[in-house]
Chain A
Amino acid sequence: MKKDEIIKVLKIMIRNKLSLLGIVIILALIIIALLAPFIAPYPEQAKGEPNLEEKLLPPSSKHWFGTDYMGRDVLSRVIYGARISLLVAVAVVGLGLLIGVPLGLLAGYKGGWIDAIVMRTTDIFLSFPPLLLALLISVTLGRGLENAIIALGVSWWPWYTRLIRGMAISLKEKPYVEVARSMGVSSWKIIVRHILPNAISPVIVQGTMDMGSAILEASALSFLGLGVQPPTADWGLMVSQGKDYLLNYWWYPTFPGLAIFITVVAFNLVGDTLREILDPRLRRRFL
């Protein structure tokens, strides 16, 4: 994308109240994640140190979000959880894009047997319910954050491949691509210069929205005991452990759950506005 276009898009996004809210939340999360050791009131407890004298205390001025079954400060752990969640969001979507976009471009532009192989492979991946596939890969690879990220990324790429392949197919018929080909420009250069820049907008939108879903699914994996392992502070894991306490100690699963909810909504707000701006048919309204 052009530099001044990015600035233009950012300006519009800031003018739109909902997307501004989304941006503010995401920026706040990034700051919280970066400064977690300084913000969290009990960083040691966030890292897992038990504090058994203060088990399951309700929210108070000492522990704003209450404490969990080991007496650890829930607020501190939610703050530290932002680090994991953002890492997961970026890593999963990044991995998905890294695999999905080049394959989609190649399949769409080249067609023929390359297209057939890539598309049948995506069909195999897409025939599983997404979480189930991630679950399968995760189980195979073993527990842990890295494996969860790999599992999610690997189950994610076919969506981007399909999306960008469709774009590539329609773009390769464009006269400017035809001209480039007639002037002897190589396929590789055509893909990089002509197809990719014009096909990437919907993928950016999808990727932004998917960051929310990635956090949600990573939480689900943690919830099922596959992703992040205790005592690491992770939102999904906290909801999972807290669910047994929901009736008597509501604050324990509620605050990490809220954190997931707010983050997912924020990414969706930003993605939605991005889509409206980058869609050429809706674009004139803004520019």
Chain B
Amino acid sequence: MSEIIRVEHLKKYFLFKEGIFSRRVKYLKAVNDVSFSINRGETLALVGETGSGKTTTGRTILRLYEPTGGKIFFEGKEITNIPKREFKKIRVQMQMIYQDPYSSLNPRMNIFNIIAEPLRELKYEDIEDRVLELLESVGLRKEHMFKYPDEISGGQQQRVAIARALGVNPKFLVLDEPTSALDVSVQAQILNLLENLQKERGFTYLFISHDLSVVRYISQRVAIMYLGKIMEIGTVEQVFENPQHPYTKLLLESVPVPDPKDRKRRKKLILPGEIPSPLNPPSGCPFHTRCPVAKEICREKEPEYVEVEKGHFVKCHFPG
């Protein structure tokens, strides 16, 4: 399997000025030293609470934010600092699907024009046939072609957004919580659609989500993020069946169980407190403030990655 995306020590800091006259500035370290790679045709899920930096990571890879540090490779070529004009050609191959499908569609354009716009840019012939083909490949019909975004459902809006992305033949898609704004029944449909498209066209996905059951369903590998850092990364089996980081364990515990009998049997472990402000991150291991097994060393020294199995890395002093 060949690598399509590689990220090395990626950093994205946002600058905050304190007061009007003060010269002091603070950094919000939204993404703080993140490294991973994704193979062609694979789905890597990026999981974390609100404010853990998962969306920022996705956006920085697409250079919607300029990275503060680190390197980004696309198909082996470094794209971190290449000039805008050159990047433009590469950027088309990397598309993003947004959390809120409605805001990703221009409300004043009909579906046909929304999907046709990038095709016109690429000078396609027979645009009408092509739009219809794209609509059908995401499960929409000809009758939707001349409707406006506010006349179709949320699920259909997301399908339109996907169809538009398909039009430019991307290789890599960042899916930023593509189903979290949708009804549960529609979520499954969109996930199936994304999965089928991946099989048919060999897409590579970076799937950003906080919904662990969805992640388990769609992805092959998972990275757990906390305060801008990856705490644990591995295959779905490794992370879900054999979680090594206390944070991962607590996250998995917090997934609701549908069967009430089962619910009683399970011992209750609740993730205490809230995620600390990334403006004032804790010293040492960022998770030590909420960690049930934290010791003195966790407060002082940031842990290194430990490879517990092949391809299964944990950033913890006391894994297991």
CB distance from B61 to the nearest CB of A (A): 12
Tell me, yes or no, whether A129 is within 8 Å of chain B by CB: no
A175 near B118: Cβ-Cβ < 8 Å: no
B74 contacts the other chain (Cβ, under 8 Å)? no
Nearest opposing residue in chain A for B98, CB measure: A175
Query: Interface 1/0s, chain B 88-109, versus A by CB < 8 A?
Result: 1001101110101001111111
Is B168 an interface position by the 8 A CB rule? yes
Residues of chain B contacted by A194 (CB below 8 angstroms) = 106
From known contacts A174-B103, A176-B105, A198-B106, infer whether A183 and B96 are also in contact, taking CB-CB under 8 Å. no
Task: Please report the C-alpha to C-alpha distance between residue A2 and residue B149 in the assembled complex, in whole angstroms.
Answer: 13
Q: A198 with B108: in contact, given A175-B98, A178-B64, A182-B96 (CB under 8 Å)?
A: yes
Whole-angstrom CA separation of A175 from B109 in the bound complex: 14
CB neighbours of A2 from chain B (8 A): 108, 148
Which residues from B are CB-within-8-Å of A112? none
Instruction: Decide: A185 near B117, CB < 8 A? Known: A179-B96, A193-B106, A197-B108.
Output: yes
Q: How far is the CA of A1 from the CA of B108 in the complex (A)?
A: 7
Interface centre among A1, A182, A197 (most CB of B within 10 A): A182
Residue contact A183 to B64, C-beta cutoff 8 Å: no
- Report if B164 contacts A (CB, 8 A): yes
**Whole-angstrom distance between the Cβ of A200 and the nearest chain B Cβ:** 9
B183 contacts the other chain (Cβ, under 8 Å)?
no
Question: Which partner residue on chain A sits nearest B149 by CB separation?
Answer: A176
Give chain A residues whose Cβ lies under 8 Å from the Cβ of B104.
Answer: 175-176, 179
- Interface positions of B from 50 to 106, Cβ below 8 Å from A: 62, 64, 88, 91-92, 94-96, 98, 100, 103-106
CA of A176 to CA of B117, assembled, Å = 11
- B121 interfacial by beta-carbon distance below 8 Å: yes
Question: How far, in whole Å, are A259 and B100 apart by their CA atoms in the complex?
Answer: 51
Contact yes or no, A176 B92, CB < 8 A:
no
Instruction: Across the interface, name the chain B residue whose C-beta is closest to A186.
Output: B121
CB distance from A89 to the nearest CB of B (A): 27
* Chain B residue at smallest Cβ distance from A171: B106
> Within A162-184, which residues are at the interface with B (CB < 8 Å)?
174-176, 178-180, 182-184
Contact residues of A between 84 and 107, Cβ < 8 Å to B: none
CB neighbours (8 Å) of A178 from chain B are 64, 96
Instruction: For B168, list chain A residues within 8 Å (CB).
Output: 183
| Bound CA span A185–B165, Å | 14
Compute how far the CA of A149 lies from the CA of B277 in the bound complex, rounded to whole angstroms. 57
Q: Which residues of B contact A193 (CB under 8 A)?
A: 106, 109, 117
Q: How far is the CA of A178 from the CA of B109 in the complex (A)?
A: 15
List of B residues within 8 angstroms of A185 by Cβ: 117-118, 121
Q: Nearest chain-A residue to B113 (Cβ)?
A: A193
Tell me if A175 and B100 are in contact (CB < 8 A).
yes
Whether A184 and B88, one on each chain, are in contact in the complex, defined by CB atoms closer than 8 angstroms, is yes
A194 to chain B, nearest CB (A): 5
Within 8 A of A (CB), among B120-136: 121-122
Question: Which of A176, A180, A183 sits near B103, CB closer than 8 Å?
Answer: A176
A45, B98: Cα distance in complex, Å: 68
| Most chain B beta-carbon neighbours within 10 Å: one of A176, A185, A198 | A176
Contact A176 B106 (CB under 8 A): yes
Q: How far is the CB of A245 from chain B (nearest CB, A)?
A: 54
**Most interface-central of A175, A178, A180, A197 (chain B CB within 10 A):** A175
| Interface CB pairs A-B, < 8 A, 9 | A2-B148, A175-B103, A176-B103, A179-B96, A180-B118, A182-B64, A182-B95, A183-B92, A193-B117
The 7 closest A-B pairs by CB, nearest first: A175-B104, A183-B118, A197-B108, A175-B98, A176-B106, A175-B103, A184-B121
Question: Given known contacts A184-B118, A184-B122, what 4 new A-B pairs fall within 8 Å (CB)?
Answer: A175-B96, A182-B64, A183-B117, A198-B106
- Chain B residues with CB under 8 Å of chain A are 62, 64, 88, 91-92, 94-96, 98, 100, 103-109, 117-118, 121-122, 148, 161, 164-165, 168
